[in-house]
Amino acid sequence: MSRPDAAGVDPAWLPPEAFRALGLRRTLIRGAGPLVDTVRGEVANACGRFGGRLVEDGGSPDLLLEVADSQRGTGSEGFVFARDGGTTTVTASDARGLLYGLFHVVRLGEAAFDGESPRETHRPATALRMLDHWDNVDVHPVMGQVERGYAGGSLFWRDGRARGERERIRAYARLLAACGINAVCVNNVNVHDAEARLLTDRIGEVAEIAEELRSYGIRTHLSVTFAAPIVLGGLPTADPVDAAVRAWWERAVREVYAAIGDFGGFVVKADSEGRPGPFAYGRSHADGANMLAAALAPYGGTVHWRAFVYDHRQDWRDRTTDRARAAYDHFAPLDGEFAGNAVLQVKHGPMDFQVREPVSPVLGAMPRTRLALEVQATQEYTGQQRHVCWLGPMWSEVLRFRLQEEACVGETVRGGIVAVSNVGDDPFWTGHPLAQANLYTFGRLAWRPDADPLRILDEWIALTFPAAPERLAAGLHRVLGGSWATYEKYTAPLGVGFMVQPGHHYGPSVDGYEYSPWGTYHFADRDGVGVDRSAATGTGFAAQYAKPWSEIYETPGTCPDELLLFFHHVPYGHVLHSGKTVIQHIYDTHFEGVEEVAEALWVWEGLADLVAPARHARVAERFEEQLRCAREWRDQVNSYFLRKSGIGDERGRAVY
């Protein structure tokens, strides 16, 4: 059993001091099996450090951790927590629940052992809480080691093979289990030749990774290419209704489960951005997904079929084509046609993980299909982990959003909640140490989508900096709590999106994608800015929503300010609900955003005496870059719109 810091990297939200309250107690553990052994090892390590001890039956424990048949009502991962008569108890129907119960005690700290506590039942709202790693086995000439990765190389792969750093992988699994994540896909959804072979002759490398992840209750998934029967099997076709193709997949799946008995399933990107898929054979996405689902079904596996399908060779002159419409147009007509173990994985917005988008209408349009919500923890469009941008409030808004009156998104995604991982081989895991908060928050919100994200933030602060003085806790809360809103202020305004440098997506380029084939336009001209997506005069995207949202989004007068330019092309003098004109909002928010970054840097500098020097220096260096980049965003965006509109800043500030 690894000690908390045995991997030689930052312990993140599991530093040894976070286990002090647990390690001071006498603990009795009842149960058997590998995961119970993991629990026992965690407790033994804590006791060895802080002076407590494991006791046998017949003693009088301070903490009882028990697997008990009587708790079957909690589900396979739930647990019951209680404190009565001086003993704190955690009981679960299986070892997974016991593991999560242990980390619940760690989060509570001394509060877990104070006073009396009535029985509390804890169970995850979603059965699958997964991270998708966009890791490449080989270093790709364009995408690098990790596509959209901002924290170094892959934890799993290096120099074309598995890294074999089992202790590091186990430390990673431990962090994930402590925040409630229970599944990991270990390779890129853009599957190249080396990644394709993981399915067959290189499955042993995946099995080694799965062994370490399994030690903390995490199931391994694999991204596969739809063309695998051609690429790997030598068949002339990958047609999903072809008998030979189906037989090939059945054999491949059988061999995967022979190597990894608890394998979770496949993640598939098909007919998207050049990836192969069923369209080549005149088949539907349901045909493609169901073929893989049938191969996985005998073993309890699941296929996660991504709904990110759109025309990436759009003519920018054609205003009738709208990338935002694509997922709904492709998939909503297929509702009810997907197999029970096929999950449609839907990005939270209709475009591509922008700092502000409406919730995807697909999430409310397919009641007979298992849907999974996909968010992006890696900060592709939100500062690439060079900027502080805590995404908890964004994800919470999506999860709480009611596309239909009877249920919010967090209650309708029966297929799970998935995040694109923000982790690499950086000593701080996420490159920017404060970006660890995004990974932790994702896990906790996936477990309980209605949780208050600010409370989760405070929970992360308390774990990561145990016994921190109030000045540090308050400073971290101040720096992180409003950082998403700050990032939005100095980047693309009012939901219009993108305006980034093409390709790598870092830094401002207002027209960077304006005349490209990617469908990511803002249509700014001398008269106004924004995309008309109304049903009356635009692309009709607004009509993909059920009422009342179709009506709210249809007109500028009812559309929320923060999404105005996503749904409408309006004059620069259009007055927002806030009372400001569009052009003045652009000026004001971009100046405010820079000021807020400068203030956050000032706060961080004032915490130097309370934070480890290496961590403080890394964050300070990232803040300096964030401030430089925020100024660049401010000056380029404001200058662009001054020149387009001819309307100056009413406050007379310098616009270049």
Average pLDDT in the chain: 96
Instruction: Tell me which amino acid residue 626 is.
Output: Q
CA-to-CA dists, residue 587 to 189, 253, 581, 591, 605, angstroms: 39, 56, 10, 6, 28
Confidence of residue 6 (pLDDT cuts 50, 70, 90): very low
What CA dihedral angle connects 625, 630, 635 and 640, to 10 degrees? 120
The answer for residues whose C-beta is within 8 angstroms of residue 426's C-beta and 6 or more apart is: 151, 152
- Residue 374's beta-bridge partner residues? 347, 418
User: Token digits for 618?
Assistant: 């890394």
Picking from 624, 376, 641, the residue whose alpha carbon sits closest to that of residue 508 is: 641
pLDDT tens-digit map of 507-561: 999 999 999 999 999 999 999 999 999 999 999 999 999 999 999 999 999 999 9
Picking from 431, 482, 471, the residue whose alpha carbon sits closest to that of residue 596 is: 482
**Catalytic residue among 5, 84, 273, 525, which?**
273
CA 231 to mean position of chain CA atoms: 30
Same fold, 16-122 and 129-464: no
| Distance of alpha carbon 250 from alpha carbon 295, whole angstroms | 5
Q: Is 595 a catalytic residue?
A: no
Q: Is 380 a catalytic residue?
A: yes
Greatest distance between any 2 Cα atoms in the chain = 82
Q: What local confidence, expressed as pLDDT, does residue 88 receive?
A: 97
Q: What local confidence, expressed as pLDDT, does residue 69 receive?
A: 80
Confidence of residue 85 (pLDDT cuts 50, 70, 90): confident
The answer for residues whose C-beta is within 8 angstroms of residue 111's C-beta and 6 or more apart is: none
The answer for residues whose C-beta is within 8 angstroms of residue 448's C-beta and 6 or more apart is: 124, 125
The pairing of beta strand 219-223 with beta strand 144-146? unpaired
| Distance of alpha carbon 357 from alpha carbon 562, whole angstroms | 9
DSSP one-letter string for 301-333: -EEEEE-----SS--TT-TT--GGGHHHHHHGG
| Distance of alpha carbon 357 from alpha carbon 380, whole angstroms | 15
Q: What local confidence, expressed as pLDDT, does residue 405 receive?
A: 79
The answer for residues whose C-beta is within 8 angstroms of residue 532's C-beta and 6 or more apart is: 319, 538, 539, 567, 568, 569
Instruction: Tell me which amino acid residue 87 is.
Output: T
The pairing of beta strand 371-376 with beta strand 416-420? parallel
**Catalytic residue among 62, 380, 426, 488, which?**
380
| Distance of alpha carbon 440 from alpha carbon 430, whole angstroms | 11
User: Could you tell me if 310 and 327 are in contact, meaning their C-beta atoms sit under 8 angstroms apart?
Assistant: yes
- Residue 248's beta-bridge partner residues? none
Is the peptide bond between 229 and the residue preceding it cis, with omega within 30 degrees of 0?
no
Residue 371 has pLDDT above 80, yes or no: yes
Residue with the two structure tokens 């709208």: 322
CA 532 to mean position of chain CA atoms: 29
Better-predicted residue by pLDDT, 474 or 72: 474
pLDDT tens-digit map of 41-62: 999 999 999 999 999 987 789 9
Q: What local confidence, expressed as pLDDT, does residue 57 receive?
A: 87
CB neighbours (10 Å) of residue 520?
24
| Distance of alpha carbon 588 from alpha carbon 490, whole angstroms | 9
Domain 129-464 = CATH 3.20.20.80: yes
Query: On the CB side of 502, how many CA atoms lie within 13 Å of its CA?
Result: 11
Across 79-98, average pLDDT: 95
pTM assigned to the model: 0.97
**Catalytic residue among 66, 77, 352, 596, which?**
352
| Distance of alpha carbon 560 from alpha carbon 546, whole angstroms | 16
Across 296-318, average pLDDT: 97
Burial of 425-448, coded b for 16+ CB within 10 Å and e otherwise, reads bbebbbbbbbbbbbbbbbbbbbbb
Confidence of residue 117 (pLDDT cuts 50, 70, 90): confident
119: enclosing H helix or E strand? strand 117-122
Q: What is the 3-state secondary structure (H, E, C) of 467-511?
A: CCCHHHHHHHHHHHHCHHHHHHHHCCCCCCCCCECCCCCCCECCC
Strand, coil or helix: 262: coil
Confidence of residue 357 (pLDDT cuts 50, 70, 90): very high
Q: Where are the domains of the chain?
A: 16-122, 129-464, 488-531+569-645
pLDDT tens-digit map of 415-435: 999 999 999 999 999 999 999
| DSSP class of 249 | H
Across 265-275, average pLDDT: 98
CATH architecture of the domain with residue range 488-531+569-645: Alpha-Beta Complex (3.90)
Strand, coil or helix: 144: strand
| Distance of alpha carbon 309 from alpha carbon 312, whole angstroms | 9
Domain 16-122 = CATH 3.30.379.10: yes
Across 593-600, average pLDDT: 98
| Residues composing the chain | 656
- Residue 53's beta-bridge partner residues? 26
Picking from 111, 117, 138, 102, the residue whose alpha carbon sits closest to that of residue 14 is: 102
